[in-house]
Structure 1
Amino acid sequence: MVDIAARVYNHKWKIDPIVRSLIDTDFYKLLMCQSVFRNRPDTRVKFSLINRSKHIPLAKLIDEGELREQLDHIRSLSLSRGESTWLRGNTFYGKRQMFRPDFMEWFEHLRLPPYFLERKGDQYELTFEGPWPEVMLWEIPALAVLMELRGRAVLNQMGKFELQVLYARAMTRVWEKIEALRGIPDLSIADFGTRRRHSYLWQDWCVQAMQEGLGTAFTGTSNCKIAMNRELEAIGTNAHELPMVYAALAENDADLAQAPYDVLSDWHEEHEGNLRIILPDTFGTTGFLKKAPDWLAGWTGIRVDSGDPATAAEEAITWWRARGEDPRSKRVIFSDGLDVDKIRSLHQQFSGRVHVSFGWGTLLTNDFRNLVPDDSLAPFSLVCKAVEANGRPTVKLSDNPNKAMGPLSEIDRYKRVFDVGHQTAQEVLV
Structure 2
Amino acid sequence: MVDIATRVWNHKWKIDPIVRSLIDTDFYKLLMCQSVFRNKRDTQVTFSLINRSQHVPLAKLIDEGELREQLDHIRSLSLRRNESTWLRGNTFYGKRQMFRSDFMEWFENLRLPPYHLERVGDQYELTFEGAWPEVMLWEIPALAVLMELRGRAVLNDMGRFELQVLYARAMTKLWEKIEKLREVPELRIADFGTRRRHSFLWQDWCVQAMVEGLGSSFVGTSNCLIAKNRDLEAIGTNAHELPMVYAALAENDAALKQAPYDVLADWHEEHDGNLRMILPDTYGTEGFLRDAPDWLAGWTGIRIDSGDPATGAETAIRWWKERSEDPTKKLVIFSDGLDETKILELQAQFAGRVRVSFGWGTLLTNDFRGLTPDDRLAPFSLVCKAVEADGRATVKLSDNPNKAMGPADQIARYKRVFGVGDQAAQDVVV
TM-score of the superposed pair, with normalisation by structure 1: 1.00
SS at match of 1:286: helix
Superposition pairs for residues 162-311 of structure 1, below 5 Å? Answer: 162-311=162-311
Alignment: residue pair count: 430
- In structure 2, give the amino acid aligned to 1:132: W
- In structure 1, give the amino acid aligned to 2:242: L
1:16 positional shift = 1.6
After superposition, give the CA deviation of every residue in 1:26-45 in whole Å (9 maximum; x if it has no partner).
00000000000000001000
SS at match of 2:359: strand
After superposition, give the CA deviation of every residue in 1:345-388 in whole Å (9 maximum; x if it has no partner).
00000000000000000000000001011110000000000000
After superposition, give the CA deviation of every residue in 1:316-355 in whole Å (9 maximum; x if it has no partner).
0000000110000000000001001100000000000000
SS at match of 2:46: strand
Structure 1 equivalent of residue 75 of structure 2 = 75
After superposition, give the CA deviation of every residue in 1:114-135 in whole Å (9 maximum; x if it has no partner).
0000000000000000000000
- In structure 1, give the amino acid aligned to 2:44: R
Structure 2 equivalent of residue 147 of structure 1 = 147
- In structure 1, give the amino acid aligned to 2:124: Y
Tell me, in whole angstroms, the C-alpha distance in 2 between the residues paired with 1:243 and 1:394.
9
Structure 1 equivalent of residue 53 of structure 2 = 53
Structure 2 equivalent of residue 412 of structure 1 = 412
Structure 1 equivalent of residue 64 of structure 2 = 64
Tell me, in whole angstroms, the C-alpha distance in 2 between the residues paired with 1:338 and 1:154.
25
Tell me, in whole angstroms, the C-alpha distance in 1 between the residues paired with 2:338 and 2:159.
32
1:10 positional shift = 1.2
Structure 2 equivalent of residue 95 of structure 1 = 95
- In structure 2, give the amino acid aligned to 1:279: L
After superposition, give the CA deviation of every residue in 1:77-108 in whole Å (9 maximum; x if it has no partner).
00000000000000000000000000000000
Superposition pairs for residues 383-394 of structure 1, below 5 Å? Answer: 383-394=383-394
> Do structure 1's residue 34 and structure 2's residue 22 form an aligned pair?
no
SS at match of 2:213: helix
Structure 1 equivalent of residue 321 of structure 2 = 321
Tell me, in whole angstroms, the C-alpha distance in 2 between the residues paired with 1:11 and 1:33.
35
After superposition, give the CA deviation of every residue in 1:136-161 in whole Å (9 maximum; x if it has no partner).
00000000000000000011110000
1:15 positional shift = 4.3
Tell me, in whole angstroms, the C-alpha distance in 1 between the residues paired with 2:290 and 2:211.
40
1:11 positional shift = 1.8
Tell me, in whole angstroms, the C-alpha distance in 2 between the residues paired with 1:162 and 1:12.
14
Tell me, in whole angstroms, the C-alpha distance in 2 between the residues paired with 1:36 and 1:373.
45
Tell me, in whole angstroms, the C-alpha distance in 1 between the residues paired with 2:198 and 2:266.
35
> Do structure 1's residue 138 and structure 2's residue 110 form an aligned pair?
no
Superposition pairs for residues 330-409 of structure 1, below 5 Å? Answer: 330-409=330-409
- In structure 2, give the amino acid aligned to 1:302: I
Tell me, in whole angstroms, the C-alpha distance in 1 between the residues paired with 2:363 and 2:12.
27
Tell me, in whole angstroms, the C-alpha distance in 2 between the residues paired with 1:256 and 1:286.
17
Tell me, in whole angstroms, the C-alpha distance in 1 between the residues paired with 2:110 and 2:254.
36
Tell me, in whole angstroms, the C-alpha distance in 2 between the residues paired with 1:55 and 1:338.
22
SS at match of 2:373: coil
Tell me, in whole angstroms, the C-alpha distance in 1 between the residues paired with 2:202 and 2:144.
12
Relative to structure 1, the CA distance from residue 115 to residue 402 in structure 2 (aligned partners, 3 Å threshold; closer, same or farther) is same
SS at match of 1:129: strand
Structure 2 equivalent of residue 113 of structure 1 = 113
- Point out where structure 1 has 5 or more consecutive residues left out of the alignment: none
SS at match of 1:110: coil
SS at match of 2:375: coil
SS at match of 1:310: helix
- In structure 2, give the amino acid aligned to 1:253: D
Tell me, in whole angstroms, the C-alpha distance in 2 between the residues paired with 1:39 and 1:189.
32
After superposition, give the CA deviation of every residue in 1:273-318 in whole Å (9 maximum; x if it has no partner).
0000000000000000000000000000000000000000000000
Tell me, in whole angstroms, the C-alpha distance in 1 between the residues paired with 2:129 and 2:105.
22
Structure 1 equivalent of residue 43 of structure 2 = 43
Structure 2 equivalent of residue 425 of structure 1 = 425
The structure 1 segments of at least 4 consecutive aligned residues displaced by more than 6 Å after TM superposition are none
Tell me, in whole angstroms, the C-alpha distance in 2 between the residues paired with 1:414 and 1:157.
48
SS at match of 1:396: coil
Tell me, in whole angstroms, the C-alpha distance in 2 between the residues paired with 1:319 and 1:186.
25
Tell me, in whole angstroms, the C-alpha distance in 1 between the residues paired with 2:216 and 2:274.
17
After superposition, give the CA deviation of every residue in 1:380-410 in whole Å (9 maximum; x if it has no partner).
0000000000000000000000000000000
SS at match of 2:126: strand
Relative to structure 1, the CA distance from residue 110 to residue 275 in structure 2 (aligned partners, 3 Å threshold; closer, same or farther) is same
1:183 positional shift = 1.1
SS at match of 1:374: helix
CA RMSD of aligned residues (A): 0.6
1:13 positional shift = 5.2
- In structure 2, give the amino acid aligned to 1:248: A
- In structure 1, give the amino acid aligned to 2:55: H
- In structure 2, give the amino acid aligned to 1:325: E
